[in-house]
Amino acid sequence: MRLDKVDLNLFVVFDTLYRERSVTRVAQRLHLTQPAVSNALNRLRQTFDDPLFVRGPRGMQPTPVADAVSADIQRALALLQKSVGGQHRFDPAESAKVYRVGMNDLAQGLVLPGLQRTLADRAPGVSVHAFYQGRDLSVEQLKAGDLDLLIDVPQLNARELEQVQLGSIPYRLALSATHPLAGKAPDMSDYLGAEHVHVSSRARGRGQVDLALHNRGQRRSVKMRVQHYAVAAAITAGSQLLWTAPASALDYPGLVVCALPFEVEPLALNLYWHRSADQDPANAWMRELLTRQFEHGLLNVSRSRP
């Protein structure tokens, strides 16, 4: 393929279709007609001598060839945008950027209070909108450019994503200060004989704690399954249920925190972003802030919990 024979605008269509998986949405995002997008796709197919995208139950699905070249095309377009758009310099003090960051309430509680103090001091015009809509949807939002960054467990292997390890949070046992076990270190018999509250964004399936018990040939009784850590904390403080959770979630009035009578792998969290934003100085700046604040949050947890 000779580059001087190729219309570079075709690669913009390719990249947008790779993200959107819909000719209609590509036309809307690029302000083109659908026939114009279809014509561009046909020219791309001729250039690569491959169908590139085929219709499937979830829209236009990329072929192996499209998957193979997508990352290079995204990086090339990002570099062109950086050069043409004057993105060599990013001044946080003068920026009014709104960052959209996917994270659940556990991560929000760990990083956002300190992050806001940093922003107020160094970047008063910058805003952060944090929300979490599930792992699969969050990955799609990163690909579509609807999320700038995502904090989640290290189980996302999409080729288009870059990632860095943030750290791990140990699990601890929490119970009400009025619970009969509050004055002792609960043993395995106490743990399995009690009822529990469990936090998960999923409607079903084992979490890390129940997997650890399953590997021991044991099972606990989960009385309540909720989606938010703050809700579980309130339930635990006002009931006789036990709660096993990452230590950073357990700073709540009326809770007693102690060590677990069995081992659970700490909760590991990674920071993710799309490859097209890898060289973006604004994205890199926020990545650095989130990483540093996560480290500070873990340090505070280690100082305050057994």
* Every domain of the chain and the residues it spans: 3-84, 96-168+268-304, 171-265
pLDDT at residue 10, rounded to an integer:
92
Fold of 96-168+268-304: D-Maltodextrin-Binding Protein; domain 2 (3.40.190)
**Which pTM was predicted?**
0.71
Q: What is the mean pLDDT of the chain?
A: 91
With a cut of 80, say whether residue 59 has pLDDT above it: yes
> By the 8 A CB rule, do 290 and 115 touch?
yes
Burial of 163 (0-12, 13-18, 19+ CB in 10 A): middle
Domain 3-84 shares a fold with domain 96-168+268-304 = no
- DSSP letter at 63 equals P
Q: How confident is the model over 191-200, as a mean pLDDT?
A: 97
Structure confidence at residue 87 as a pLDDT band (50, 70, 90) = low
Q: How many CA atoms lie within 13 A of 34 on its CB side?
A: 4
User: Which residue reads 């989606």 in tokens?
Assistant: 227
Superfamily covering domain 171-265: Periplasmic binding protein-like II (3.40.190.10)
Structure confidence at residue 60 as a pLDDT band (50, 70, 90) = very high
Per-residue pLDDT tens digits for 284-296: 999 999 999 999 9
Per-residue pLDDT tens digits for 222-269: 999 999 999 999 999 999 999 999 999 999 999 999 999 999 999 999
Please state, in angstroms and rounded to a whole number, the distance separating the CA atoms of residues 143 and 160.
7
User: Which residue reads 């236009």 in tokens?
Assistant: 60
Structure confidence at residue 139 as a pLDDT band (50, 70, 90) = confident
With a cut of 60, say whether residue 175 has pLDDT above it: yes
Total number of residues shown for the chain: 306
With a cut of 80, say whether residue 81 has pLDDT above it: no
Please state, in angstroms and rounded to a whole number, the distance separating the CA atoms of residues 187 and 174.
13
Please state, in angstroms and rounded to a whole number, the distance separating the CA atoms of residues 34 and 23.
7
Percent of the chain with pLDDT over 90: 69
Q: How confident is the model over 39-68, as a mean pLDDT?
A: 93
From the CB of residue 154, how many other CB atoms can be counted at a distance below 10 Å?
13
Q: How confident is the model over 132-148, as a mean pLDDT?
A: 86
CATH architecture of 3-84: Orthogonal Bundle (1.10)
